[in-house]
A and B are shown apart, each in its own frame.
Chain A
Amino acid sequence: MGRNSGDSSGVTPYDFGGQWQPSSHELARRASRKKKNNRNAIIATLSSVVVLGSLAIVVVTSPGWKSLSDTFFAWAYGVEVLPKIILGFGTNVVLTLIAGSSVAILGLTIALLRTSRSPALTPFRILSTIYVDLFRGIPMLLVILLVGFGIPALRLQGVTNNVLVLGTIAVIITYTAYVAEVIRSGILTVHPSQRAAARSLGLTHFQTLRHVILPQALRRVTPPLLNDLVALIKDTGLVSILGVTDAVRAAQISSSRTFNYTPYVMAAIVFLLITIPLTRFTDRTLRKSIERQNAQGNA
């Protein structure tokens, strides 16, 4: 059929039923590709073993290794304090869940305020712009100290002095500013013709937001928002400065009793157990989102 299979046997790779069979030429190509892949895998393994192995040997045989491992990697002690650290980590998890959901709602609200054009909302638009600029520019530790120690110092009637609550509020205030900006940038990247198309179909402003603008905007900012979630989990550790017994504080207490830093390493490992899978997931989401945008660009 005009197609030269290059098959030495002279048999066409298409049998009469139209079923495609790989030609001997293609089979040979696959075999040699497979061989090459196997060789690559062997080379990668060997080179990794050599490089990482020698690095490990250099570290472990260095003169300071003994005291280093005694101070940071005293595993028996680490296992002993682990329950306390995990208990403390529960506080970080709860704080992340409460702060995360509040930040999502507040951040979305402020992003919508800042992108709206309604004249009635002008004062709120100005206020939210000031708020976002302010709290993106202050180190979060300062906000935690100001809220956590400053508010109780006012001795206000009916206002809580609970450091966990105040610390959570400080985290929410700071992260809402970041997340509002991320969502706003997502809204701004939706092409204006999408709004025009929706409005010309008679959809109201809110229907357009709800069904057309926000779904596209949020899908685009999912990877940076997941990044912020990872950062939030880690930053909940900062409230330990107020005396909240989270994983960091629990590690600090154990460590200061024995002058051994293994509890800190244990706390780090506990954080990593959550953050590494989440980071991998974020990467995968980002890759998918880029693929999707490329596909749209080709259409």
Chain B
Amino acid sequence: MSEVLVVEKVRKAFGSEVVLEDISFRVPVHTATVFIGSSGSGKSTLLRCINLLEQIDDGIITLDGQEISAVEANVDEVRKKFGMVFQAFNLFPHKTVLENITLAPIHARGIEPEQAIAEALELLARFGLKDKAEQYPDRLSGGQQQRVAIIRSLALHPRMLLLDEITSALDPVLVNEVLSLVRDLKSDGMTMLLATHEMGFAKQVADEVCFLHKGRILEWGAPEDLLESPKLPETKDFLRRVHEAGRL
């Protein structure tokens, strides 16, 4: 199986605080790798480093065999190959749903507006949001907003998706519509890297789960192994706490 993303020995520090250390993993095509770990363990920083929103301090990141962490890599070109969705404040509040989706295709990819609009409407229709095309984001529920954010990243035909805790700012009742969209994309063969707190969801979509603890990957493996019979005390401890929080 060919690898889309390869991360080797990546390190990232903010000043003297080391946030990521010796991070290595691979994401084969059509698979999903899920990062779990407590808040502050470095999940967001890792995704931001991969998308070149942060500069790494050591290591190599390659996308389809090309080193994107190279100094001469074209940052804007690289970012178009990733579809990134954040926890919150994703959409541009001054633009309609349709304008949110077509902005980057028109300006970053140079697609004709008519074509960008047609493609956007097609995506919206596919995910049941066509009637929201002319609405502003503040008229949408949180779940609809996150779905539009995912669609917006799909409009760039990304090589893979980077999803950073896309449901943690949502009401529990809205989480499912977003997760089911991600599941659909997974079954369509989209390659993805996710950070999530939803262990049930991780079990469903992940091909591999990595447990991030204080900036290091402590344990990794198939979801049924790592989530059901973790080996390390840190992993057990984290999963127990997530479980308890879920029961509250």
A residues in contact (CB < 8 Å) with B: 191, 193-194, 196-204, 207, 211-212, 215-216, 219, 295-296, 298-299
Contact = CB atoms under 8 A, between A and B. Distances in A.
B30 interface: no
Contacts of A216: 92-94
Contacts of B93: 216, 296
A196 B86 contact: yes
A193 B90 CA distance: 7
Given A194-B89, A212-B92, A299-B139, 14 more contacts: A193-B88, A196-B86, A197-B84, A197-B89, A197-B91, A197-B149, A199-B79, A200-B53, A200-B79, A200-B84, A201-B103, A201-B153, A202-B76, A203-B108
A200 B160 CA distance: 13
8 contacts: A193-B89, A196-B48, A196-B53, A198-B92, A199-B53, A200-B79, A212-B92, A299-B139
Nearest to A197: B90
Contact of A191 (B89, B140, B145): B89
Contacts of B145: 299
Nearest to B105: A201
Given A296-B138, A299-B140, A202 B89 contact: no
B108 A202 contact: yes
Contacts of A215: 94
A202 B109 CA distance: 8
Nearest to B104: A201
B80 interface: yes
B77 interface: yes
A295 B108 contact: no
Nearest to B103: A211
B139 to A, nearest CB: 8
Contacts, number: 72
Contacts of A200: 51, 53, 79, 82, 84, 153
Contacts of A212: 92, 103
Contacts of B37: none
Contacts of B86: 193, 196-197
Interface string B188-216: 00000000000000000000000000000
A107 B80 CA distance: 33
A57 B77 CA distance: 76
Contacts of A193: 86, 88-90
A196 B94 CA distance: 16
Contacts of A201: 79-80, 84, 103-104, 108, 152-153, 156
Contacts of B51: 200
A202 B108 CA distance: 6
Given A196-B86, A201-B152, A211 B79 contact: no
A200 B108 CA distance: 11
A295 B82 CA distance: 32
Contacts of A194: 89, 92
Contacts of B138: 295-296, 298-299
B161 to A, nearest CB: 11
B98 to A, nearest CB: 14
B89 A203 contact: no
B76 A204 contact: yes
Nearest to A298: B138
B223 interface: no
